[in-house]
Amino acid sequence: MASTTAVRAALRTQRIETPSWAYGNSGTRFKVFAQQGVPRDPFEKLADAAQVHAFTGVAPSVSLHIPWDKVDDYAALAKHARDQGVVIGAVNANVFQDDDYMLGSVTNPDPRVRRKATDHLLECVDIMDATGSRDLKLWFSDGTNYPGQDDIRARQDRLAEALAEVYARLTGDQRLILEYKFFEPAFYTTDVPDWGTAYAHCLKLGDRAKVVVDTGHHAPGTNIEFIVAFLLREGKLGAFDFNSRFYADDDLMVGAADPFQLFRIMHEVVRGGGLDAGTEVAFMLDQCHNIEPKIPGQIRSVMNVQEATAKALLVDAEALAAAQQAGDVLGANAVLMDAYNTDVRPLLAELRAELGLAPDPMAAYAASGYAERIKAERVGGAQAGWGA
């Protein structure tokens, strides 16, 4: 086993970003169940996110989604975040909820629609300038439903053109991070369906373009840790969107469906230097809490990432390398499984005590009275949710 002092030191520096949309109402395309106390604006979402950070100590930033989090004054929103003890993280663009985008956004055959979509992406960079955000996160719902509907190759050209224009607009340490998704809402072709397509576009754009791996955006059985290892080796893993899936893009709590997969992913992150100081890998959650309370859902998710990370850090790298070198198949597998089967909860409780936090964030949040307070205070107004 690796020394627990080193493990604690690494865990102390890990940061996990929570998404503003996790705090609003969400559901499936069939039904959204409203919950009491849900935020009514981006300011209240940031207040809820600050609770997750207060009880875990490792979630100090919050991703925005434009236009769901549209406000008149982004500098004021950023100041509000800081006043609550958090900062604004990645800005997520949205070019999938407008009638104009029925046949695509930046890949639409109509140049007027492409212009409108690209202008929105540029507006998101303006917002990043105001909030001090580093990352522009792009996901395109673009694709086709029927063979012959549009020219697959021309759509790649249009995508490349839009990405190049946006990339040229970035300044300083700003990055363009590109997410892929193999299907949905387009069912026949998707314009960015896999890591290879995202990687090829990012490679052409330059060093500040990197790939986002959303753990829920893969076909069943996909070896996600291989993708992570490959992208890290190439210096092209920009971020994770963590969540978990049983069937499609379920957006369930990370580590809920398959904690062993999350461990295997984090093992490759550790192996590839993705947790080292100055890492370019952003650890973000992309989840919706449809039937469970949202703030504790986020706290649990942060804890799940920490547990998988702790287990990955406990892997005895020397023993593993020796077994691999010796061709000791069972020995190598045993080294990995020993780490996975370790109960890291006491270690994480100790770490929280060192950070001046309660050892059990779930219990501490429940005892804080915050949930009851927002239920009582947030009466009236329109609750935030998809499309809000």
- Judged by the rule CB under 5 A, the positions of this chain that interact with Mn ion are 214, 241, 286
Q: How far is the CB of 43 from Mn ion (least distance, A)?
A: 24
Q: Which is nearer to Mn ion, 84 or 141 (CB)?
A: 141
Q: How far is the CB of 59 from Mn ion (least distance, A)?
A: 17
Q: At what angle do helices 42-56 and 294-314 cross, to 10 degrees?
A: 40
Q: How far is the CB of 141 from Mn ion (least distance, A)?
A: 12
Q: Which residue is nearest to Mn ion (CB)?
A: 241
Q: Which is nearer to Mn ion, 142 or 286 (CB)?
A: 286
Alpha-carbon distance values, 56 to 37, 42, 193, 357 (Å): 21, 21, 34, 7
Q: Which is nearer to Mn ion, 57 or 143 (CB)?
A: 143
Number of helical (H) and strand (E) elements in the chain, helices listed first: 14, 10
In 3D, which of 102, 93, 100 has the Cα closest to residue 70?
Answer: 93
Distance CA 27, CA 32 (A): 4
Cis before 361? omega within 30: no
Q: Which is nearer to Mn ion, 135 or 286 (CB)?
A: 286
Q: How far is the CB of 16 from Mn ion (least distance, A)?
A: 15
Q: How far is the CB of 108 from Mn ion (least distance, A)?
A: 22
Angle at 180 between CA 176 and CA 181, to 5 degrees: 150
Q: Which is nearer to Mn ion, 241 or 280 (CB)?
A: 241
Q: Which is nearer to Mn ion, 150 or 241 (CB)?
A: 241
In 3D, which of 183, 172, 185, 268 has the Cα closest to residue 220?
Answer: 183
Q: How far is the CB of 92 from Mn ion (least distance, A)?
A: 8
CA atoms within 13 Å, Cβ hemisphere of 61: 19
